[in-house]
Chains A and B, each alone.
Chain A
Amino acid sequence: MKRFTRLWLGAGFLCAITTFAPLSYAKDTPLNVVATFSILGDMVKSVGGDRVQITTLVGPDSDTHAYHPTPSDAKTILKADILFVNGWGFEGWLDRLVDASGYKGTLITTTQGIDGLPFEHEDEHEDGHKDEHEDKHEDGHKDEHEDKHEGKHADAHGHHHGDTDPHAWQSLAHAKTYIQNITRALLAADPEGQAVYTQNRDAYLKQLSDLEVLVTKTLDTLPKERRTVVTSHDAFSYFADSYQLKFLAPQGLNPEAEASARNVAALIEQIRAENITALFLENIVSPRLLKQIAAESSVKVGGTLYADGLSKPDGDAGTYLKMMKHNIITVYQTLKPE
């Protein structure tokens, strides 16, 4: 009897295949794509759906800045049809990896078309770093325009960031550009999936717009004096820029740099002087220094924000949309007047 059912199932399956064969022809070999880090991977998966086989190099809760590629990454890249990167020097190790693997496929810089922000370290401290900052600003402006057209400026920057702040996904508006870029690349590589891709894209863009509505309901209502927060590294300038907030960080943009006593003292002074009420931790940075600053300036610790990587799938920030929602609500809950 059992055998019999199996046979029937098999027959049915065969029928299904033959009837739907012309439709799902391309589905036999899904598009093999690689994304460099968890947020990008989630976006690509959302647009590509079942038609793409996505591999993410840097997984959840991991630091892309500090990532060391492995030989299996080179193998993964080599097999890929499309490689999605953020660009602007975010994946400092990428150029070497691409060279070493001999990858010849398409490389898509998803920040293409985004008007990047130069690095900003305003009012963190007074004279100590001034010269350095001025240099950075100059370069930043120069490169900004080139980046607008090319977007692919990551080369030659080695392990360090370029002159443009790469964390553009922290703005929902920019996320739309990411999605458009991803859709365009998928369409070019797999025209037959047009229906699926455009449908997914439109659905995702709608969800992004919904989140923007959430922002106007929450963050936009905050009074002017309650719009400054402290985090552990400068990954939120796009978030701050889009939603008129101010983020201060004790360590500069790269978590690898060590803080100086003067820097920490200046931050504490500023927190006291400006009556800053909230301080946030991050999922991938050691919280010790921030907790120390919080204790010293009697600021409350407002929870964890996600900057460079998603959490595990069942966590607070398992997808990009969940992450942004979590960040927006966490910031709002902490900042809103009692």
Chain B
Amino acid sequence: MLYDLLFAPFVDYTFMQRALVGSCAMSLGAAPFGVFLVLRRMSLVGDAMAHAILPGVAIGYLLGGLSLIAMTLGGLIAGVIVATLTSLVSRMTRLPEDASLAAFYLLSLSLGVLIISGQGNNVDLVHVLFGSVLALDNAALLLVSSITSISLLTLAVLYRPLVVECLDSTYCRSVSTFGSWTPVIFLIMIVLNLVGGFHALGTLMAVGIMILPAVVARFWGRQKLGLMLVIAVASAMLSSWIGLLLSFHFDLPSGPAIILCLSTLYVFSTLATLFKKQPKPLKSITHSITSSKD
């Protein structure tokens, strides 16, 4: 009975296995970066980036047709350009990062809409461009898992600069030249995860699985960064599993079901902490650095 409820769908159907593998891989790659986004007070960057990659994806579609590679590359290039320009401008002027990102993503979005409407081709682009969790083919799975691998490797290399950057970006820049590139690489990794997520899983899934677990982890992480990362990944994976089961048993669209599970976790966490105490600002993050140095 319990087996039928929890495991049978994944044993019986390959598309369910693929959906689970894809969303778990996505959780592993995107959720940690989401944690850093939340810590840097840039939770809405995911949404902004989603719009920023549109012109690239559209150009990729127009040049290469319905090819995963063309659209991913296009989106990636557009995203990287926006990310780099954002960081450059905020480094060279006194404009904060989010303000210059807002400017660039609007610029990019309007370009994208212009390109799409200029073509007069009215296939529902959003539907064509963005995949569904249930339709993961080999190419899409490969894309998601390679992006996850790259993300994890980058995270391993960049972990300490990222933490320092979160606390004091001026200090990070002054310590090494590499430090000043940290925010750029960070934004590029965000773009990479989002672009992969869009094509494989859909817009809602990509942004949702990045930010929501991080917010949940912020509540339960007891101000320890390592714990927060683990909680974020774990809650994202748990929600993917439950969401897919809900979609299977109750006939719900899969992407929204998964995101709704994550949102439920978030609401639960909020209520739980409301009756306890507020999360303190992240002071003890320095401990995690010093302790990991030993």
A residues sitting closer than 8 Å to B (CB atoms) are 58-59, 61-68, 70, 125, 128-129, 255-265, 268, 284-289, 291-293, 295-296
Contact = CB atoms under 8 A, between A and B. Distances in A.
B13 A260 contact: no
A68 B13 contact: no
Interface of B: 9, 12-16, 18-19, 66, 117, 120-124, 127-128, 131-132, 134-137, 140, 202, 244, 247-257
Given A66-B124, A258-B253, A263-B251, 18 more contacts: A128-B251, A255-B124, A258-B254, A259-B254, A261-B9, A261-B244, A262-B247, A262-B251, A264-B13, A265-B16, A286-B127, A286-B131, A287-B66, A288-B132, A289-B134, A292-B134, A292-B135, A296-B13
Contacts of A265: 9, 12-13, 15-16, 248
The 10 closest A-B CB pairs, nearest first, are A66-B124, A128-B251, A258-B253, A289-B135, A62-B122, A261-B247, A288-B135, A261-B248, A262-B251, A260-B251
B15 A262 contact: no
A260 B122 contact: no
A264 B16 CA distance: 10
B254 A261 contact: yes
Contacts of A291: 135, 137
A25 to B, nearest CB: 35
Contact of B127 (A125, A128, A255): A255
28 contacts: A58-B122, A59-B121, A61-B121, A62-B120, A62-B122, A66-B123, A68-B117, A128-B250, A128-B251, A256-B127, A259-B132, A259-B134, A260-B247, A260-B253, A261-B15, A262-B247, A262-B249, A262-B251, A264-B13, A264-B15, A265-B16, A268-B13, A268-B15, A285-B128, A289-B132, A289-B135, A291-B137, A296-B15
B251 A284 contact: no
Given A59-B122, A265-B9, A289-B134, A125 B14 contact: no
Contacts of B137: 288, 291-292, 295
B250 A264 contact: no
B14 A296 contact: yes
A59 B254 contact: no
Given A128-B250, A262-B250, A288-B135, A61 B123 contact: yes
A125 B121 contact: no
A268 B121 CA distance: 33
A260 B252 contact: yes
A286 B66 contact: yes
Nearest to A288: B135
Contact of B140 (A65, A67, A288): A288
Given A128-B251, A262-B249, A287-B66, A63 B15 contact: no
